Amino acid sequence: MAYLAFNNTDKLQGEGDHVIAKANLSPKDRKYEIISRLLNGEHLSYQQLSDEYFVSRSSIAGDISTAKQILAQENAPLAFDNSGTYIKGGEVLRQRVTKRIVLDLMLAPIPNTIALTMFLDMTLLKQLRQAFEKKLQKWQLEVPESYLQDILVTTAIVITRGRAGHHIEVDERNQFGDLFFQFEKYPLVYDLLMSVESDGMYHFSQAELRYLSYVILGNGFKFFMKNATIPGLFKQKVKKLIASVSTGIDIDLNQDSRLESDLLVHLYQLVLRLRANTTVVNPLLSEIRKNYRKLFGVVWYALNDFGHDNHLTISADEVGFVTIHFQAAIERTKKMRRILFVCPNGIGTSSLISAKIRRIFPDIPLIEAVSVANLARMDLDDVDLILTTVSIGKVSQPVVNISPLLTTEDMKNVMSKYIDITTAPDRHQNKTDAGNLLKTLTGLSGHVFFDNLKTRETALNFLIHKNTWDSEAHQQAFKESVQQRETIQSTYMGNGFVIPHGDPALVDHTNISILVLDKPIPWGNYKADVIALLMIRKKDTAAVEPFMDLLMKGIEDKNWFISKMMEVK
């Protein structure tokens, strides 16, 4: 009897500590704990959570709203029944959500360790890093830190949740299809995972081994499969993507062999990741969208087609990574910089200064020495910078005055001015962009509508009927292609904007129509109030770039976008 009394007291003490712990959670940590409980399969009612955390139901409603936003990034829907709110979907989806949360928390300027421990065993993560790095050093493989971190976090989540009884169950046919492989073909991958078992950390199921094998290859295909070849058919798909983006941005990148080889590996790894139904987090996404707005939009459009053709859902994070590859290719197309050096002194002084300049600008072949007289007669349109030891009067290009012997201080001034020039916005491009914006807005005149429709179906029907179709059959076929695309991959872009589009081969007349709604309507796992339906023929793909530039700017500044739409409706 005394034993039972002691046990009950101990239990009550433990429950009391748990209640106090819940009451002391910060609002942010409370949100994460609720998400953690949902991921662990609990059904949670607002009243239950309000009682447990000693907060109002309205606070809980805010927590659930935050949970919806986080889950929506991985297309994980929340559902409701008599027991409360719960997450629909299997363990792979739950681990995908967990991974996004963990990586977001780890990549934050100040990592939230309290929240991290709700989703991951941090001690386990350290043990895995030690085991994996030991293997990589033995094999003399240098895997980039971002790839290694992704592999480690995914493996740690599989083990953490597996220990709690949440195991991945993969339907081999549906999940991996023709990419299914036998482990013996990839000994490095298998050996890496077996090191976890040999260290006594965990015993993987066959489904977990397959899943993690795809994750590892999806992060390090060229490191772990050095002798493997990528199928020829896939290479053709990559070339098609490059051609599509080239047309969209009106820059021919089809002959850039480096872009092709880089994209080949990146996209093949992307497919492996998506076949495994895993995710990546791009810490630079917001900066990429901001700095390369137009290109991001065109790449998103092209990758949406790539994903549709390959039955893959490609996230904005993945689009951001691919955008960087294309931006690097664009930089390679830019004209070589030209620097003029004006020096009235002898050849010796001129040669000395030219040699010093080439030391700080080794990649610039066009460093030209000219006289003051010749400078006055030269066309300076393709000159970026003029260095001079004498006064040359007023010229149209930036000038840096230097001493005849080019001192260290001179070199600092030259370098500073050169950086200013190369990072400054292109004035000619700004004028072109302004002209394109005006042209795009003019083209939308009569195709912008403000209404109060209630469903996605009615909104799409409304916009489709605003175009001209050669037949009812064509119109219906296009509508079905739009709906099919939305089923495979949402066209939600952020901030309430969606860009539905269908098969270009089914479009009779190119048309872009925009619907701005009074109130947001459900769009898959999101809410949308700006719907831009793209009905663009294949031969008119170039129309995508200026429109995507407009739309991406609108996502950043919705009030500006709506004011522009009011002007042209």
pLDDT tens string 79-112: 999 999 999 989 999 999 999 999 999 988 888 9
- Which pTM value belongs to this model? 0.76
With left for phi above 0 and alpha for psi between -120 and 50, is residue 494 left, alpha or beta?
left
Q: How far apart are CA 552 and CA 547, in angstroms?
A: 9
Q: What is the pLDDT of residues 369-378, one digit of tens each?
A: 787 778 878 8
Most confident of 327-336, 343-352, 490-499: 490-499
What pLDDT, on a 0 to 100 scale, did the predictor assign at position 170?
65
Q: Does residue 224 register a pLDDT over 80?
A: no
Question: Measuring CA to CA, which residue among 111, 113, 118, 112 is closest to residue 39?
Answer: 118
pLDDT at res. 434: 63
Q: How far apart are CA 505 and CA 512, in angstroms?
A: 16
- Exposure of 424 by Cβ count < 10 A (0-12 exposed, 13-18 middle, 19+ buried)? exposed
Hey, how many other C-beta atoms are within 10 angstroms of the C-beta on 356? Answer: 17
CA 549 to chain centre: 17
Model confidence at 254, pLDDT cuts 50, 70, 90, reads very high
In whole angstroms, what is the distance from residue 66 CA to residue 32 CA? 9
pLDDT digits (tens, 9 = 90+) for 39-79: 999 999 999 999 999 999 999 999 999 999 899 888 888 99
CA angle at residue 406 from 402 to 412, to 5 degrees? 75
Note whether 296 and 166 are within 8 A (CB). no
The reported pLDDT for the residue numbered 349 is: 64
pLDDT greater than 60 at residue 17: no
Q: What pLDDT, in 10s, does the model give residues 109-146? A: 888 999 999 999 999 999 999 999 999 999 888 888 88
Provide Rg for the chain, Cα atoms: 29
**Chain centre distance of CA 317:** 2
Instruction: Render the burial of 521-554: b for 16+ CB within 10 Å, e for the rest.
Output: bebbbbbbbbbbbbbbeeeebebbbbbbbbbbbb
d(CA 307, CA 340): 48
* Tens digit of each residue's pLDDT (9 = 90 or more) over 258-303: 999 999 989 988 988 888 888 888 888 888 988 898 899 999 999 9
Give the pLDDT score at 548.
Answer: 87
Maximum distance among all Cα pairs of the chain, rounded to whole angstroms: 110
User: What's the CA gap between 551 and 326, in Å, rounded?
Assistant: 20
Say what the pLDDT of residue 426 is.
Answer: 59
Q: Give how far Cα 261 sits from Cα of 217, 230, 315, Å.
A: 17, 11, 22
Average pLDDT, the chain: 85
The per-residue pLDDT for 429 is 54
Q: Which two tokens stand for residue 210?
A: 């397959």
